[in-house]
Structure 1
Amino acid sequence: MRSFLPGLLESRDFVARQKRNRGISALIIFCFILFFILVGLSVDYAYLDSFASATAPIPFATLAALGFSTVLTLAGYYRGADWVLASVGAEPLDGKIPEHRELHNVVTEMALASGCPMPKVFVTYDAAPNAFATGRDEASSSICVTTGLLALLDRDETQGVVAHEMAHIRNRDTLVMVLVSVLLGGVALLADWAQRSWFHPRHSRRGHSLIAVPALLLVALSPLISRVMALAVSRQREYLADATAVEFTRNPLGLAQALEKIRDAGMPFQRATRGTAHLFIANPLRRRVDQRDGKLADLLATHPPIERRIELLYRMAGMPYKING
């Protein structure tokens, strides 16, 4: 591993960055929970008349949406890793191939550095340089990299990428995104039920108070708002994984230079889908919005702008970096 004496003190900034990103993630998730409750109560009030009874009101829609979404999400949680690996054509390492042996060694090193159990390691035969981690917890985790990434990166850069994926495992990002998926699915169910109940004959007999009007508007916009909040959590977890990777390697430039090569390759990963895009170290769909910084990218991208991530890593190494474009 290369030693980076210049900027050694600056490289310790990864601790502060981890703390900041964890705090932002927690705040967004807390707001997401409040938003889900608000949407649920709005549906119960404005559409289902759950609070019209003289007896104790029961927020039926809120509880039902939470229950249904939890069941559906947990089903994916327990089988999702197998589905994702199968969908990308992941294959176990072949010990006869030098690149595979080196990858196994790098993953072993990063497992030791992170304090996590050794994950299962897979490759998928695709020219696009990319990688992802999946699994319910540390004990059942897997890391998969493309052959394009192994061919493009040197050992330090591969180590940076693997450290990023090990960071997702140690930070329990799969569990975090399960919670986000429950909330996202719950809001979608509530909005769908509200739309269906609008045309129910009982709806015409409901009063429209001053509270009902903003409640209806909130429910109508809830799918978009919840999606934006879910994407915000995903972006913060990427920043957190970058900072945690530096903790493991003490080499910010390894990951920074890997991201530069992934950016410059500009190749989409053909087997990726919108449902799995957030798992990868860089958006495999190569959408333009994910490569930009600004208000639109902040709202709609699964990943932070890659230029911004590279800049922060160079800053942690105490080295200047000029953003392209």
Structure 2
Amino acid sequence: MSESPNPQRAAVMRQCREDRRAMLKRWDESGEALIDHYETETLALRGQLAQLAGSVKRQVQQKCEPLIRQAEERRIEVLSRFDQDKNTPSSARQKDDQAIRQAHHRAAAAIEPLRSWMQQHGTDVGEVREDAAAYGRLELRPPDSIRQSVESMQDLAARIEQLNQELHGLRITRIHDHFWFPIGGVVIGLLLAMLLLFAWGASPVAAGITFVVALVVGIAAHFATIGPLQKKMASHQNHACDLIAAVEHAKAKAMRVSASIHQLEASDLAKKRDKDLAVIDRWLEEQKRAVAAEIEASTKDKQDTLKRKLAELDQTFHQQFESNEDRMRQQADELAMDIQKRLENVS
């Protein structure tokens, strides 16, 4: 036969289980209470630290706003000065450009009548481009600087003017341009016709024929000078082209040197602009750091106090948690021993 259950033992076991559950519940509740308190206090302290940091940040921003405006005004001033200097040539460059224009204007003023004169006499100079080799043919040294280019254009202008004078002074040129042969033919024809009519009693027809023949001879002689004149002009054409090419090269060289100087000036201006802007940026950063350091120093004690409280709270929490764990383990051990005794008494 099976042994009947002991109602008293069953009741004790139920009570023991309830006591054990109650013990575990108290253990959990005590731990959760400590954690809740720790988290609440920690959040409060961290919130105060965050508020303090936000206050510091706002104060720094407020104090830095005038500094930022001042830096921006200085930047605008630097950029404005850079734009003005960039678009305004230096006095030396203005002087050089004026000297280049004046020298080339004088040369151009000498070239134009030379072109016109030679074209009138059957030699077209045409478009002449710059040619450094022309200096070699003229037995001159090519210019390497603005000053040398200006001096070269002045010298070439004088040479072109001299060539103009030489061409105008040619005997064959004077004969051709002043129509000496046609005029001479007319004069001689008139004289011969008058002699035939009045001195020798020739007929008017003979006198007219004589005049026409003299005129034709004069015109023929005039046209006969065209060939030698063109040859003479052609002999000076290469020399004239070399002079013009040298002038154009001197001008181009001067302009290239001037442009190079302008680029160098622009580069120097850009470097100065960047340097000035960098100085402003460094100044602003230094001022910001100084302001931030000053404000942070004024709140350092409060920050340190809050951080110390956080550290103390953390240490206290760990100590209390460990102490609570030890206490609850001790109570659990005592409950286990009590349950064991109660079960032994009803066995």
The normalised TM-score by structure 1 is 0.24
The normalised TM-score by structure 2 is 0.22
Higher strand residue share = 1
Higher helix residue share = 2
Greater Rg over alpha carbons, structure:
2
